[in-house]
Structure 1
Amino acid sequence: MKIAHITSLGNQFDQTIQRYKALVYPRRHIEYRRWLRQQTRTSPSHLQTLGQPLVVFDFRDNRIDGPQGRRFYGLFIFFVRNGFHPIFTDNYLVLGNIQEKFKQLCLREDFSILSHEQDLTDGYVLVTDKWYSSLSRRAGKIITINYQPDYSASDACFPMPFPLFPSLYATGEDLRLKDYRKQQRQWKIFFGGDAAAKKYNKNSIRKIYNKLSRAQILEILSASLPGELLLELTSDETLRRAEQTISKGVVIMNTRHCKVESEAWLGTIARADFFLACPGVRYPMSHNLIEAMAVGTIPITQYPELLFPALEQGKNCLVFTSAAELPALIHKARAMQGEELAAMKANVQSYYDEFLSPQSAIPRLLAHRPKHISLRLLPFLKPGGGFA
């Protein structure tokens, strides 16, 4: 049996447990009903009269959550950033864990719980993972979540952009990008993120995606770069000192040992011209690649094809495909100056603004098809290589 098939079966079993475990916790159900009684029941028709568009989320169960509620919140906040008022249908399997982990960030925004379908005025946007929703009849747009892997540009579905880390939206950091893009760049190349070797060295990265793992990449740099070109931040004190210096090499920050608050994270990435985009845990895509592009820091990556459209070598990224290519690419980035560097930075910012920002993603999503739209939630996913 192939490793991809075994991994896929394990993922499916884990997903099933996570989706339905709430049914065996009566206390959680009691707490949910108590929470529900406290929620706003604002008339959706009143909001539409005031000109605010509505998006109704009608999910079957919490499969939409993804890791710790990130997918649910990401979709939710993308619509909020575009002026939509979110409405949830009363579904315990979906909302029973809304006060947990990243999903609880939804509670910082205004939303309503739908009491009666007849309260809705025709023309709302419906987002659902059901094969049929009774709310479909009067919706202006119907967006159906598609969890399938192996997206192709020829598929008749819309690829959901990978988001920033949830707390950056919750704190409004995504609304400050213009300031961060103007920031002075004092480091040449930066990597920041969790660097636990065992966690970031999964077989799925190497076997299914055919990429170097995060642990492998950091090990290659440690072995190939001279000491004066490698600055490892191992504590808050080393970070404070680095913030006062200019580095022409690679600055590596393991967030296990050197913590940066959400409000300071984008500003930290914006100190560098380039960001070394190491893979995530089960699949290559990682929030910090998107965060780097948001502030105009140019990614050095081995998976340009996993963004849609793909990133382009020399235009909005630098690409390596093997361990042997990485050291030379680091030196190429170090040598880049002037107009070439400025042009790549501008291209990176333009790519984020056009394809990754909530303000562009939702209008493009709604324009994808006249009414019925299939949304590929994880377009970068390969069979057996992680799960929602």
Structure 2
Amino acid sequence: MIKKKIEQVNRLIKDVLAFEKIKKNTPEDTSKAVVVHINNHTLYHRFFYLLLKFYKLAGYNVYYPMDFAKFRNIRNKERYLSLLVREENFLIVNTKYQPENYIEITDEMFSPDYFSSYFENENRTDDVFHIPMSFHPFMYHYGIWNYEVDLNKKRCNSIFCYGNFDAQAYLDIKRTEFSVIPRTELLSYFKNQQNFISLSGKLELFEKIKEGSMERKYAFAIKEHFALPMEDVRETLSYFNFYLCCPGVVMPLCHNVIEAMSVGTIPLIQKEYAEVMYPNLVNKVNAIIFDDIGNLDSILNEVFDISETEILKMRKNVLQYFQDNLTPDSVVEHINESIKNKKLIYLQAEHRSVKFIR
């Protein structure tokens, strides 16, 4: 009991000191400003951090007036949300600083009911805007999201996939309304293919690329066997023509597809997944889309025979999609336009968004 009390006092002291420090943040020399009046920050967790981080990366001063209670709530909650107040020189919380001209964002502008367009409104999006999926939050936090990558290197005409394939965690999606194939089942399917390969690390990957034995392969970098540092993700993806998009834990969307598209690696993606990305991905324009496992068989019989001309055309479209829709600048531009036009803005809330599906 005494130990717990001491820990609580120590945390309180650390929080007080951190709050006094953040109150000293001052605006940077820019006329671009966003003022945040949102109380539902815990509803959106990581995606709220990403929303404000995108404004910061787009060159805005981010004003988020808050008292000590809200500061503590943010600082000691979910780890990605806490980055809002743990990052250096991010937020301006002191109310004595107020810009003359600014974009204002409020709770009423946003909804976590992200998938209602798909399930209830025939995927019509004329009057709404879906803030798209993004890289993993740490990529922005550590400033590695825009590392320069050589996009003109010769690529392997193979399908690459990386990530966690934990059987327990990634079967949760089967208990939702989505009909996407869970990543564990996709892995099982590809394991039965003749050209499947499970990579043991970057050294093996680059040796196989050098010797020319990585062509027409289904190459998986499974987290348990292949440690891929976050700073190397985009560079590794850029060695391949195609990326197999596996769904997340409880929804199709996962940050891996965005990381692949950022380097022009063409998504091989299931139809439902492609249709909850906004704007929707289009088959043979900026993605290769399959309906189900049966359809995947026929796709795989053809994908490696797509001409180099068509590959280059699709790669260009993928990169253009990323620039137009997925960079911090483009996302902020679309959000501001939506605010101006009084459109409802859907912001991901992961598990909470899925619970809205009726």
TM-score normalized with structure 1 length = 0.78
3-state SS of 2:246 partner: coil
CA distance in 2 between partners of 1:124 and 1:218 (Å): 48
Structure 1 residue 175 corresponds to structure 2 residue 146: yes
Whole-angstrom distance in 2 between the partners of 1:64 and 1:379: 6
Aligned equivalent of 1:135: none
Counterparts of 1:4-43 in structure 2, within 5 Å, are 28-42=11-25
Tell whether the 8 Å contact from 2:264 to 2:319 is kept in structure 1 after alignment.
yes
User: Which residue number in structure 2 is paired with residue 298 of structure 1?
Assistant: 266
CA contact (8 A) 2:130 2:345 kept: yes
The 1-side partners of 2:49 and 2:184 are apart by 29
Say whether residues 1:233 and 2:199 are aligned partners. yes
The structure-2 alpha-carbon separation of the partners of 1:156 and 1:197, relative to structure 1 and needing over 3 Å to count, comes to same
Residue correspondence of structure 1 range 197-208 to structure 2 within 5 A: 197-202=167-172, 204-205=173-174, 207-208=176-177
Asked if the contact 1:221–1:327 (Cα under 8 Å) also holds between the matched residues in 2, the reply is: no
> Aligned match of 1:96 in 68, 73, 97?
73
1:310 pairs with 2:310: no
Query: Quick one: which of 143, 154, 163 aligns to 1:184?
Result: 154
Distance 1:354 1:95 in 2: 36
Report the aligned-residue RMSD. Answer: 2.8
Q: Residues of 2 paired with 1:94 and 1:242: CA distance?
A: 50
Bigger drift between 231-240 and 325-334 goes to: 231-240
Q: Distance in 2 between matches of 1:105 and 1:243?
A: 38
The match for 1:351 is 321
- Choose the corresponding residue for 1:161, options 132, 143, 163: 132
Q: Name the CA shift for 1:119/1:104 in 2 (closer, same or farther; >3 Å).
A: closer
Query: Following TM superposition, by how much is the alpha carbon of 1:368 offset from its aligned partner in structure 2, in angstroms?
Result: 2.3
Of residues 162, 178, 182, the one that matches 1:213 is 182
* Structure 1 pair 159–95 and aligned structure 2 pair: CA distance change class (3 A): farther
User: What SS is found at the alignment partner of 2:217?
Assistant: strand
Closer, same or farther: CA 112–75 of 1 in aligned 2, 3 Å: closer
1:71 aligns with 2:47: yes
Unaligned runs of 5+ in 1: 1-24, 132-143
The code of the aligned residue for 1:161 comes to P
Of residues 288, 310, 313 in structure 2, which corresponds to 1:340? 310
Deviation digits for residues 29-83 of structure 1 (CA, Å, limit 9, x no counterpart): 5432221011243455xx5xx43312223331442443xxx21321122111210
Distance change >3 Å, CA 321–CA 281, structure 1 → 2 = same
* Residues 1:245 and 1:360: Cα distance change in structure 2 (over 3 Å): farther
Counterpart contact for 2:110–2:344, Cα < 8 Å? yes
For 1:315 and 1:65, locate their aligned partners in 2 and report how far apart those are by CA, in whole Å: 32
Partner of 1:55: 34
Instruction: Please say if residues 23 and 93 of structure 2, whose CA atoms lie closer than 8 Å, have aligned partners that are also in contact.
Output: no
Judge conservation of contact 2:245–2:267 (CA < 8 Å) in 1: yes
In the alignment, which of 138, 148, 164 is matched to residue 113 of structure 2? Answer: 148
Cα distance between partner residues in 1 of 2:12 and 2:60:
29
What CA deviation, in whole Å up to 9, does each residue of 1:275-301 have, x standing for no partner?
000111110101001111111000000
Q: Which runs of 4+ in 1 moved over 6 A?
A: 379-383
User: Are residues 112 and 358 of structure 1, via their aligned partners in 2, closer, same or farther at CA, if it must alter by over 3 Å?
Assistant: closer
Shift of 1:115: 2.7
Paired residue for 2:163? 193
Tell me the distance in 1 between the aligned counterparts of 2:286 and 2:202: 31
| Corresponding residue of 1:331 | 301
The equivalent of 1:257 in structure 2 is 225
Shift, 1:271, TM fit:
1.0
State the AA in 2 paired with 1:33: V
Which amino acid letter does the alignment assign opposite residue 333 of structure 1?
V
Distance 1:97 1:257 in 2: 35
How many Å separate the matches in 1 of 2:207 and 2:355? Answer: 39
Contact 1:200 1:281 in 2 (8 A): yes
SS at match of 2:169: coil
Contact 1:233 1:251 in 2 (8 A): yes
Match of 1:266 among 210, 234, 258: 234
Task: Determine the C-alpha separation between the residues in 1 that align with 2:26 and 2:37.
Answer: 17
